[in-house]
Structure 1
Amino acid sequence: MDLMYILLCILLDILTTSCQDTIQGRIVGGYAPVPYSIKYIVSIQTTDRRHFCGGSLINKYWVITAAHCDIGVNKMMIVAGDYSLIIYEGTEQVILPKLLVPHPEYNSATNNNDIMIIKLRGPVELNNFVSIALLPRQGASIAEGRLCRVSGWGYTNPRGGQIPSTLRTVRLPIISSHKCNNSESFNGDITENMLCAGYSIGGKDACQGDSGGPLVCDGRIYGLVSWGNACADAQFPGVYTDVSKYRKWIDDTMISYSTRCNKNPRISTTA
């Protein structure tokens, strides 16, 4: 094999992009993590087992994801402990949702407040394959340039195609809202409730199918995959819901539903 090719592969591995991914044209520049090493992530699927969004366990009864992943409580199921979507591995736990709680001020036109928590019908079993994710404190900030990890089963090509069979992950730096909001990028569409992450040269990003999945910084979920303009575009980094702005809402909501039955018509619930 040509020496320059070998050196290129080594360099790409250092940059967390595998040589195989480059050959296959995997534009998000990610890699397959060690199986079951990202134990808090869940696959949100339709009842006929089609993955469409990601999420994260925040306790044994609750999952956090994006509000735009709300397709109705009777049309989805939650799969924890999964790695390959096409192989039954014996580690999976399938749990049906009891109710969906999208943020009451979610705006689908602006993508503001794109956050939802899901209460499960029963608790997940915490084991070597399934665990709980930590959340940031209310209002905690993450510094520009900090490397964070986003994971999911979303597309590895901006043109779509098939989703990957196994979980994938990539590390991305936080980009300032000022830079993300300039006229050459999102031109003011980034609200105070959003984070941006990506490289100035593009090539690494979340994509369709990763929605609702976790952006983890310093061991805590600071972001949820929300929206963007194409995938891995140098001009348009990925946009994430800033979870730290919602910690109080999350805690208050979980406490509320552990003590009473709320009749709010905005909430999708079981019949």
Structure 2
Amino acid sequence: MLKMLVTLLILSLSSTITSSLNACENCIPITHCVSASQLVARDRSEKTGQILRKNICGFDSRVSLPKICCNNINQSIDNQETGEGTTSKLSNHHNVNLLPTQCGHIVTQRLLGGYRVWDNEFPWVVRIAYRNRDSNAFQCMGTLINSRYVLTTADCLIGRRILGVRVGGRIQSPECTNICESDVQDIGVSEQITHPEYTSSSRTLNNIGLLRLRNPVDLSKENAGVICLPVTDEHRLKNVTGSTGAVSYWDENGSELQFRYHATISTTEECDLYVNKNRNYRRDLAKNSICTVIVNNHRCESVPGAPLMLIGSDPDSYSYYQYGILNTAKSECGPEIYTDVRKYMTWILDTIKS
């Protein structure tokens, strides 16, 4: 694979060297770009060669290799997945059966408002526990996508000492007056996986990660469930601008209750401006993001890793689908930035295992 990748690009350099080279942040030797290897493995046609040639940004004389705009290659793969290029049929992916078809069960629908979550309303939202210097604490959220994997942000994983995840929590019904703790499951983590092209310098790009659990979650319990992911073309190609979704997280400030709020998805242009606020303008920072504006929320707080969920239809029912992962927490009211899960479905399916 490595030899093919280098040969493909070196043979094309003569036709590119006379044109101006690309300027980009992530200009690295071709062999260091994971997305380039994935693209060649998936498609060895002339179209792939054109994509590689188009994104040449220099030459590393130390190792005698061409350099390439790696983030642009990643975007080319994303375009194929979301239908902007040749649509990839994720429904035929060899790991698609690892995602349960019984997912995102809707307990009940409610009108906008009502911040406390009803019992087991979002049983796929889990808490990630960390070992700090003086104590242990839950500081990020994640979502169960099957019995062994939790979806969250790369920020929540890199450089962090993770103890495990907690599934379930305090019962919140009015009848609960004495013992209010439900049957929680505390499960250790066997593997922390971050997107290979995530960098802390551009935190909105590739800010996605997975936790593989040491033991499977018992999904037969009422307070444990899995969220649906946008695998089919119907859900991945859906225009979600203007849609209002639900966001849920566990509050650890003494109450240990689960909350939810509603957020309306902004336009691409609005998201582009917000992501680039207070920094040098870069259009690529928002390309794999979803931005939202909170609807009627008096709490104005959130926790990184919390899911942005929209109701989608299946052949026989309606379910919750996760479209976003909250990038960073903030205490003030205002727009929020989410990683767009649709853009990373191939990476998720390529990464999970039985």
TM-score calculated relative to the size of structure 2: 0.55
Q: Secondary structure at the match of 1:153?
A: strand
What is the one-letter code of the residue matched to 2:165?
I
CA offset at residue 145 of structure 1? 1.2
CA offset at residue 76 of structure 1? 2.2
From 239, 243, 247, the counterpart of 1:146:
243
Q: Is contact 1:106–1:113 with CA below 8 Å preserved after alignment?
A: yes
C-alpha separation in 1, matches of 2:348 and 2:245:
22
Q: Is contact 1:36–1:83 with CA below 8 Å preserved after alignment?
A: no
Q: Deviations over 1:159-182 (max 9, x none)?
A: xxx364201100111111201223
Q: Is 1:222 paired with 2:319?
A: no
C-alpha separation in 1, matches of 2:190 and 2:200:
23
Q: Is contact 1:73–1:98 with CA below 8 Å preserved after alignment?
A: no
CA offset at residue 83 of structure 1? 3.8
What is the one-letter code of the residue matched to 2:340?
D
> Relative contact order, CA 8 A, sep 6+: which one is greater?
1
The equivalent residue for 1:191 is: 286
What is the one-letter code of the residue matched to 1:110?
S
Q: Is contact 1:206–1:238 with CA below 8 Å preserved after alignment?
A: no
Q: Is contact 1:231–1:238 with CA below 8 Å preserved after alignment?
A: no
Q: Secondary structure at the match of 2:343?
A: helix
From 122, 144, 152, the counterpart of 1:57:
144
The equivalent residue for 2:164 is: 77
Q: Is contact 2:300–2:331 with CA below 8 Å preserved after alignment?
A: no
Q: Is contact 1:98–1:120 with CA below 8 Å preserved after alignment?
A: yes
Q: Is 1:136 paired with 2:230?
A: yes
Q: Is contact 2:169–2:184 with CA below 8 Å preserved after alignment?
A: yes
Q: Is contact 1:84–1:167 with CA below 8 Å preserved after alignment?
A: no
Q: Secondary structure at the match of 2:227?
A: coil
CA offset at residue 38 of structure 1? 0.8
Aligned residue pairs total: 219
C-alpha separation in 2, matches of 1:61 and 1:228:
26
TM-score calculated relative to the size of structure 1: 0.71
CA offset at residue 141 of structure 1? 3.9
CA offset at residue 137 of structure 1? 2.4
Q: Is contact 1:99–1:119 with CA below 8 Å preserved after alignment?
A: yes
CA offset at residue 82 of structure 1? 1.8
CA offset at residue 142 of structure 1? 4.1
Q: Secondary structure at the match of 2:350?
A: helix
Q: Deviations over 1:45-103 (max 9, x none)?
A: 12454110000000001100011001557532100012479x87132000000001000
What is the one-letter code of the residue matched to 1:153?
W
C-alpha separation in 2, matches of 1:185 and 1:168:
29
C-alpha separation in 2, matches of 1:129 and 1:95:
14
Structure 1, 99-108 or 180-189: larger mean CA deviation = 180-189
From 191, 203, 207, the counterpart of 1:99:
191
Q: Secondary structure at the match of 2:155?
A: helix
C-alpha separation in 2, matches of 1:82 and 1:194:
30
From 102, 121, 132, the counterpart of 1:37:
121
More helix by share: 2
Gaps of 5+ in 2: 1-109, 173-178, 312-319
> Moved runs in structure 1, 4+ residues, more than 4 A?
71-74, 187-190, 199-206
What is the one-letter code of the residue matched to 1:223?
G
The change in CA–CA distance for 1:184 and 1:88 in structure 2 (over 3 A counts) is: closer
CA offset at residue 203 of structure 1? 5.6
From 323, 334, 338, the counterpart of 1:240:
338
Q: Secondary structure at the match of 2:349?
A: helix
Gaps of 5+ in 1: 1-12, 18-30, 156-161, 259-271
C-alpha separation in 2, matches of 1:148 and 1:78:
25
The equivalent residue for 1:171 is: 262
Structure 1, 174-183 or 136-145: larger mean CA deviation = 136-145
What is the one-letter code of the residue matched to 1:243?
V
Q: Deviations over 1:2-36 (max 9, x none)?
A: xxxxxxxxxxx96515xxxxxxxxxxxxx111022
Supply the RMSD in Å over aligned alpha carbons: 3.0
Q: Is contact 1:154–1:206 with CA below 8 Å preserved after alignment?
A: no
Q: Is contact 2:162–2:189 with CA below 8 Å preserved after alignment?
A: no
Q: Is contact 1:84–1:165 with CA below 8 Å preserved after alignment?
A: no
Structure 1, 182-191 or 137-146: larger mean CA deviation = 182-191
